[in-house]
Structure 1
Amino acid sequence: MLVLLVVAGIALVLRDSPNDETAEKAETAAAPVDPKTPWTGTWATVMQDGKGAGFQAETLRQVVRASIGGDSVRIRLSNEFSSAPLTVSAVYLAKHLTAGTVDPGTNAHVTFGGADSVTVKAKGTVVSDPVAFRLPAGTDLAVSAYLPQPVGSVTQHESANRDNYVASGNQSTKASLSGLRSFYNYSFLAGVDVQNPSAEGAVVALGASITDGYDSTWNENRSWHNLLARRLGDDGRTVGVLNAGISGNSMLQDGVGQSALNRLERDVLAQTGVKWVIVADLGINDLGGADESGGDRLVAGLRQLIQRSHTAKVKVLCATLVPFAGSEGYSSTGEAGRKVFNDFVRSADSGCDGVVDFDTAVHDSADPTRWNSRFDQGDHMHPNNAGMEALAAAVDTALLARATANS
């Protein structure tokens, strides 16, 4: 079992720009954090089978958006879907500036049990030692790591919805990578946690392509869960927002990733500091075809998910399913199933701890089986940026009742 050690030393200061004297004076060193302060997830993604190209003694620089801030940071690496061990070394955190460039004045070394290198066993995960690092909410954090040995396909999240970067050799501490090229998934980086005495806990967005941010503007963090994180911050709330969406995923059936029911423990209930889950757009991919019991089966699946979450003391916010008439997968049977599911979610005896009415937020009032054209990305299944904003606005943040970090 990995022992977590508090790293001593001088705290690092993040600056908006090396020449911004005002920002430099405004920043203060990371304050000491009580080791008893619980950890809370600030960013996460869902791991899947690795099917892309491997890496050849290269440095990966992956960029994540912190939903909440903290003065101590740790990361989680995953090798869960690989059959061979993975060795990672020279891991550094830094503030990302642009296009793979970082502020070198913020570089912080990440260790594992005090060591520079860690080997993650096949099917395993590891958590780093804590690093004293001032991470403001909304910061783009770059995690650089050197893979000293050639590896085949790694455990990954298939779509990062942003550019990540890779370059030959060990360049983890460099401000700019020499000979960099882009890649478009998250490889073996599964989560980032912070210590923040004000943190109330984390909410996990569990869903499919809409939650995964499909076709929202590249590199701009415009998915509804990113926008929800901003709303919570604007309201003075310190709630981590974690993305557990997989494009093409289903509630009931394994396919593109394990089904939501089969991945619930790993991707939701085991997330650091989780207090709530929003069950979002999963059911759309279960509907269709000639199965007229689709809606009833989805309801049964949701009931099971609610029960298991409540057993783990996690509250469940149930989202209605958005319209999909006109899309490639639409059928009248699927529409009937969507109605059954949405009626259940809105009912008084659903067992949900709150309802997020995505359907009403984005449907065409003249034809509720279709998207409002203002929000339709064009395939009649996914939202454009305005649609993502409408979905985020549909979440009543009061449903995320304030909870103490120790509750």
Structure 2
Amino acid sequence: MKWTGSSKLLVATVVALLAVAAVVWVRRDSSAAEHETASADPNTPWTATWATAMQDGKGAGFQRETLRQVVHTSIGGDTVRVRLSNEFGRAPLTVGAVYLAKHLGTGTVDPATNAHVTFGGADSVTVKAGGTAVSDPVAYRLPAGGELAVSAYLPQPVASATQHGSANRDNYMASGNQSTKASLPGVRSFYNYSFLAGVDVQNGGAEGAVVALGASITDGYDSTWNGNRSWHDLLARRLNGAGRTVGVLNAGISGNSLLQDGVGRSALNRLQRDVLAQPGVTWVILADLGVNDLGGADESTGGRLVAGLRQLIQRSHGAKVKVLCGTLPPYAGAEGWSRAGEAGRKTFNTFVRTRGNGCDGVVDFDAAVRDRADPDRWNARYDQGDHMHPNNAGMEALAGAVDLGLFARADG
């Protein structure tokens, strides 16, 4: 065959197009490889980037639906896993078709970032009543301060899901298996975290994690909805801005107490699960624990709170976790305030501020938000209006009260 000039040009063009196509597929394959099941690096420990405290769902269930739950990460990593809980379930929980993806807003995800999550190599997992499950590692580039959607299909009716009562944001559900879809036709919102207990990462630069253990203030009560404006979120931003790689976890439960079970298990009874068992935990901030114990207080309340705090410190130190003790913010003017409760608060705060208390550091939340002219009350600038919970400015003041120097580097 005789090659003409035009024939040579045609062949050259085809070769060039094939070369471009080859490059495109290599890029696609490379991108896809970032989302495949991976082997965990045995030399890099897991660190939690997000977690929540599980509670009894008390009858809140689902009917063969896809749940798309959104978490705000504190640190990033190259390998990710999720933790599921059926702690309060009365029957086995089957979860299938689990995917991670970048959340774009209002329940929509970027499908190009979809990553399939498996459990023991299987597409689904059945978690026994009272049990938990941890996924296989997934190679996935997760940024710090990002919005990650965890979509999971429930192929069987769930009568009562283990949950965290208030997500302080919208989560999303829709009928059927829609776990990989960018948007969810027929989407409906719900306002808790159901069976999703934690998200962990592997990051070679991670310095550990700090758990904020508290009640409604730590839970983010009445901070901006969908805004990630709780004080622990703001603390995570401060740490990131300072070049630190510290996971910041929210173990607050609205209405929770230090001493008594009620709305969730008491801090004493959930310390192991919500703090000491968290991957990479290095510090715990004992925050607004005790505020709810002051309701119905008597003259012994302050001493009992101090005794409870001592137990938390001893048990945390036994697990080699450093304890940052927080003073209790004021609450005069709030429903449930009493002179006996105020006396108990002062007894507790005096102990926290006393040398030799056993704490590894002190976070003086009280001093950060109280009214200087009337220190039993919130500064009006920070008061949400009920004289117990902060507004957004108050959340910033609480986050600012945490000295970043308390998070000593391992090498320093």
TM-score, length-scaled by structure 2: 0.91
Among candidates 273, 276, 292, match of residue 266 of structure 1: 273
| Preserved CA contact (<8 Å) 1:11 1:30 | no
Distance in 2 between residues matched to 1:239 and 1:13, nearest whole Å:
27
Q: Which residue of 2 aligns with 1:365?
A: 372
Alpha carbons of structure 1 residues 201 and 178: separation in structure 2 relative to 1, 3 Å: same
Q: Distance in 2 between matches of 1:48 and 1:335?
A: 29
Q: Deviation digits for residues 85-133 of structure 1, max 9, x if unmatched?
A: 0000000000000100000000000000000010000000000000000
- Which structure 2 residues correspond to residues 10-89 of structure 1 after superposition, within 5 A? 10-11=30-31, 34-89=41-96
Contact 2:297 2:344 in 1 (8 A): no
Candidates 147, 160, 167, aligned match of 2:154 = 147
What is residue 307 of structure 1 aligned with on the other side? Answer: 314
The gaps in structure 1 that reach 5 residues or longer are: 1-8, 15-28
Measured in 2, the distance between the counterparts of 1:321 and 1:273 equals 27
- Following superposition, the deviation at residue 12 of structure 1 comes to 5.2
Distance 1:283 1:79 in 2: 28
Q: What SS does the aligned partner of 1:61 have?
A: strand
1-structure distance, mates of 2:39, 2:84: 25
Q: Does residue 289 of the first structure (1) align with residue 264 of the second (2)? A: no
The structure 2 residue matched to 1:99, chosen from 96, 106, 111, is 106
Residue aligning to 1:392: 399
Distance in 2 (CA, whole Å) between partners of 1:117 and 1:287 is 45
| Letter of the 2:408 counterpart | A
Counterpart residue number, 2:214: 207
- Structure showing the higher helix proportion among its residues: 2
Query: Contact conserved, 1:88 with 1:118, CA < 8 A, in 2?
Result: yes
Match of 2:21 in 1: none
Question: Could you say which residue in structure 2 is the equivalent of 1:4?
Answer: none
SS of 1:283's partner is coil
Shift of 1:282: 1.1
The alignment partner of 1:150 has SS state of: coil
C-alpha distance in structure 1 between counterparts of 2:33 and 2:331, whole Å = 47
How far has the Cα of 1:349 moved from its partner? Answer: 1.3
Q: Partner letter of residue 161 of structure 1?
A: N
Deviations 1:310-330 (A, max 9, x none): 000000000000000000010
C-alpha distance in structure 2 between counterparts of 1:10 and 1:294, whole Å: 60
Contact residue 41 and residue 202 of structure 1 kept, 8 A? yes
Secondary structure of 1:266's partner? helix
Partner residue in 2 for 1:187: 194
Return the letter of the residue paired with 2:203: N
Distance in structure 2 (CA, Å) of the matches to 1:276 and 1:153: 33
1:345-360 aligned within 5 A = 345-360=352-367
Q: TM-score, normalised by structure 1?
A: 0.92
Contact 2:90–2:160 (8 Å) recurs in 1: no
In structure 1, give the amino acid aligned to 2:283: W
Aligned to 1:329: 336
**Which residue type is aligned with residue 154 of structure 2?**
L
The amino acid of 2:210's aligned partner reads V
Report what 1:239 is aligned to. 246
Letter in 2 for 1:391: L
Distance in 1 (CA, whole Å) between partners of 2:32 and 2:395 is 35
Identity fraction in percent: 80
Aligned residue type for 2:362: V
| Alpha-carbon contact 1:12-1:134 (below 8 Å) kept | no
Cα distance between partner residues in 2 of 1:133 and 1:362: 40
State the one-letter code of the partner of 1:265. Q
Cα distance in 2 for partners of 1:109, 1:32 equals 14
Larger radius of gyration: 2
Distance 1:338-1:331 versus aligned 2 partners, 3 A rule: same
For 2:349 and 2:245, the matched residues in 1 are separated by 30
Per-residue CA deviation, residues 42-89 of structure 1 (Å, 9 max, x unaligned), is 000000001253111100000000000000000000000111000000
